[in-house]
């Protein structure tokens, strides 16, 4: 006797299709809870993308008359793992940003930060320079013109707010 589709009940057919999906749903990562905290998600994505723990490091974003800076340090001088991860991350970011690639901030913040579109279209609008520090590194930025400076400052102000650093959002004197 040949079995055809009509021999299966609709319930059995549905079970064949939905059981695998139900099993997969049980093994995949849980969805964020309703009303999840945006900043907690930024921290979590940042830890993954940057390769170091935000609780063991300190970020600062600076706005200067000619550009700005991203400074990241390990909180403890003996935390060489964080220091090295910071250096690796900012060195890589300097190369990416110089080419107009701002994918990392978009992954961390789950949105396109202000100023990025200008810096993507005009990679030469801002020059990025990596510099090691005792406990981490600094990414120095110099704007080529007013449009680049405005884009950079919008970008850095967004970083200050989304990373909750408490840094001044106005232009300050550059540290020498």
Q: What is the pLDDT of residues 63-99, one digit of tens each?
A: 999 999 999 999 999 999 999 999 999 999 999 999 9
Element (H, E) at 158: helix 146-163
**Residues near 85 by beta carbon (within 8 Å), at least 6 away in sequence:** 50, 51, 52
In the DSSP assignment, the letter for residue 14 is H
- Phi, psi of 66, deg, nearest 5: -110, 0
Residue 26 lies in a domain: no
Residue 176 lies in a domain: no
pLDDT higher for 60 or 37?
60
pTM equals: 0.74
Residue 130 lies in a domain: yes
Structural domain count, the chain: 1
Question: What pLDDT sits at residue 17?
Answer: 39
What mean pLDDT, rounded, does the chain reach?
A: 81
Question: What pLDDT sits at residue 154?
Answer: 97
Residue 127 lies in a domain: yes
Would you place residue 7 in the very low, low, confident or very high pLDDT band (cuts 50, 70, 90)?
Answer: very low
Residue 82 lies in domain = 38-163
Residue 20 lies in a domain: no
Q: Which range (30-39, 60-69, 151-160) has the least confidence? A: 30-39
For residues 27-54, give the mean pLDDT: 63
In the DSSP assignment, the letter for residue 69 is E
> Which CA distances in Å does 34 have to 11, 30, 152?
32, 12, 34
């Amino acid at each position: 006797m040949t079995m055809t589709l009509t021999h299966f009940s609709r319930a059995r057919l549905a079970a064949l299709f939905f059981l695998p999906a139900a099993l997969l749903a049980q093994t995949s990562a849980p969805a964020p809870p309703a009303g999840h905290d945006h900043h907690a998600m930024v921290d979590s994505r940042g830890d993954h993308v940057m390769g170091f723990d935000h609780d063991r490091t300190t970020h600062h974003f600076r706005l200067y008359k000619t550009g700005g800076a991203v400074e990241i340090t390990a909180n403890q001088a003996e935390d060489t793992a964080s220091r090295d991860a910071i250096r690796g991350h900012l060195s890589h970011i300097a190369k990416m940003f110089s080419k107009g690639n701002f994918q990392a901030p978009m992954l961390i913040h789950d949105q396109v930060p202000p100023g990025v579109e200008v810096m993507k279209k005009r990679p030469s609008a801002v020059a990025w320079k990596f510099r090691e520090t005792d406990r981490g590194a600094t990414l120095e930025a110099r704007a080529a013109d007013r449009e680049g400076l405005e884009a950079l400052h919008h970008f850095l102000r967004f970083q200050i707010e989304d990373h909750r650093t408490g840094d001044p959002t106005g232009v300050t004197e550059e540290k020498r």
